[in-house]
Chain A
């Protein structure tokens, strides 16, 4: 959920920068749900996501004096959360079946006449999507989660990842094609 007004949030940030913990607590309340959702999609485990989200907020508190207001507060916060999630994921061994985007430059297309119809099919497709997202490299996963699941605009998502829009769009497109291939493979197996 976006803050009620930028002016209102600007005031909270300024007060938090001055050491007002109550103001920072309000910022946490406003952004906890969405940050947790982004981190959960990234790390794939709710308990771990809770730890990462807490750590991200703590880092935000420690570094809030460095926030200069050149970007929106939530994009700065999401960046901290994504970076913390990447660190956590980076400590794990690569999951089996991890897919490098460079391994699938030419993507074949199958007929989609067997698109999922039942709720069971939709749940299964969702499982395919979640697996495909987890198989993405961290940079591509972040782009896809922010833009296509969390619904940030291209400019907001690019800003969060500290990318120019052209670079972000390129990364997003490759991530989408990789996930699309998993969907295509699944639908092909169902025929």
Chain B
């Protein structure tokens, strides 16, 4: 009974810790020990595993939205016209 409670406590502690470290894990901003800790928990926790995968796909989608096209032609000229108008 006590062992079961201890295992449950350990699992929930790892669950909470892992959830708070998913972002830095995906950003590769965790230590080697922390990386292993995230991977060990997501290996045994289906919920965290799916959370990690959906977050990974979300970030991939966001990164694909990066710089498209440029500023409208003439923007620099418009800015400088206003700058020259300032005294």
Binding site for B on A (CB under 8 A): 21, 24-25, 28-29, 32-37, 41, 46, 50, 53-54, 57-58, 61-62, 107, 109-112, 115, 125-126, 129-130, 144, 148-151, 154, 169, 172-173, 176-177, 179-180, 183-184, 187
Q: Whole-angstrom distance from the CB of A48 to the nearest CB of chain B?
A: 12
Closest chain A residue to B84 by CB distance?
Answer: A21
Complex partner residue of B67 from A129, A150, A187, CB under 8 angstroms = A150
Question: Which residues on B sit within 8 Å (CB–CB) of A46?
Answer: 72
Number of interface residues of B (CB under 8 A): 36
Binding site for A on B (CB under 8 A): 20, 22-24, 27, 29, 47, 50-51, 53-55, 57-59, 61-72, 75-76, 78-80, 82-84, 86
Closest chain A residue to B67 by CB distance?
Answer: A37
Q: Whole-angstrom distance from the CB of A6 to the nearest CB of chain B?
A: 21
Are A148 and B71 in contact (CB-based, < 8 A)? Answer: no
Q: Whole-angstrom distance from the CB of A176 to the nearest CB of chain B?
A: 6
Are A176 and B59 in contact (CB-based, < 8 A)? Answer: yes
The docked-state distance in angstroms from the alpha carbon of A172 to that of B23 is 8
Question: Which residues on B sit within 8 Å (CB–CB) of A111?
Answer: 50
Are A25 and B76 in contact (CB-based, < 8 A)? Answer: yes
Closest chain A residue to B50 by CB distance?
Answer: A109
Known A54-B75, A150-B67, A151-B63; 10 more pairs at CB < 8 Å: A32-B71, A37-B69, A46-B72, A53-B71, A57-B83, A111-B50, A144-B62, A176-B23, A184-B54, A187-B54
